[in-house]
Amino acid sequence: MKFQKILVPLVAMVIFLILWELLVWANGWPNYKMASPSDLWPAYARYGELFVIYGWQTLWRTVVGLLLAIVVGTLIGMVMGFSRVMRDALYPLLVGFNAVPKATVVPIVALMFVGAHDFNTVLIAFMISFFPIAVSVSIGLSTLEPEYRDILRSLGASNMTIFWKIALPKTLPEFFGALKVAVTLAFIGTNLMEIVSPHGRGLGALFDSGKTNSDYPLMFAVLIALAVLGIVLYYIVVALEQIFAGWAERSPN
């Protein structure tokens, strides 16, 4: 079963690359219109060192922003989950904030914190990814059976004890589901800052360089590199889910 979980995604990716190559070949598209997978290898070979350096810069900022989103999103979700008043008060604010396109927020953040490139990038990654975590924790806690809560409170348990002993295990499946979404959103936030407000760092800067120099294979190579980083981080979350919430997975009949 574990071998199948590894093999099937790899086969799917290979099929995707083959279909991509065939599509470009069948339509006769030049690489400045649509680069094919075979056009990407020269770009990786030529700019390999930059991909490693910029890829690491993008990755660590994304991970830091995601970790902040986990902490803050969980805390906000706890407040909303344990208090109906706070849930009614905060939910519209969160929805309104999340509805604002983050591409419009990037220039504002860049002007507010001029020169703080790492901080700005981490902040945008956090801002774009904490919402699903907060909502999932809130829903998980608000749907907790009141009998459990009443029994624990009658025994003198605090809200924090109820959270750690009962609510947290119950919300883990929803939490990891939201975390899988937050991973991709964090990468979007990081690259928004790197591209919209360029500062010469990260894969977004490499993409912007390819756009400036009309190096379309490089631009597509950056997109694939971002996809690979996102997939790696996603499967790290999947592995953590198997460790901490594997009991919630249902085997098909």
The residue range of the domain holding 80 is: 46-247
The pLDDT tens digits for 172-219 are: 888 888 899 999 999 888 988 888 876 778 898 899 888 888 888 899
Same domain, 122 and 211: yes
Q: State the pLDDT at residue 2.
A: 65
In a domain, 35, yes or no: no
> Do 96 and 214 lie in a common domain?
yes
The label of the residue with tokens 């990814």 reads 129
Contacts made by residues 213-217, CB under 8 angstroms, sequence distance 24+: 214/32, 215/43, 216/31, 216/32, 216/33, 216/35, 217/31, 217/35, 217/39, 217/40, 217/42, 217/43
Domain tally, the chain:
2
97 assigned to some structural domain: yes
Domain membership of residue 72 (yes or no) is yes
pTM: 0.84
Query: Residue 145: which CATH number?
Result: 1.10.3720.10
Judge if 67 and 20 occupy the same domain.
Answer: no
211 with 151, same domain? yes
| 213 and 185 housed in the same domain | yes
Where does the pLDDT of residue 248 fall: very low under 50, low under 70, confident under 90, or very high at 90 and above? low
Q: Is 138 within the bounds of a domain?
A: yes
Let me know if residue 108 belongs to a domain.
yes
Higher confidence at residue 199 or residue 243? 243
Do the domain assignments include residue 2?
A: yes
167-181 per-position pLDDT tens digit? 777 788 888 888 999
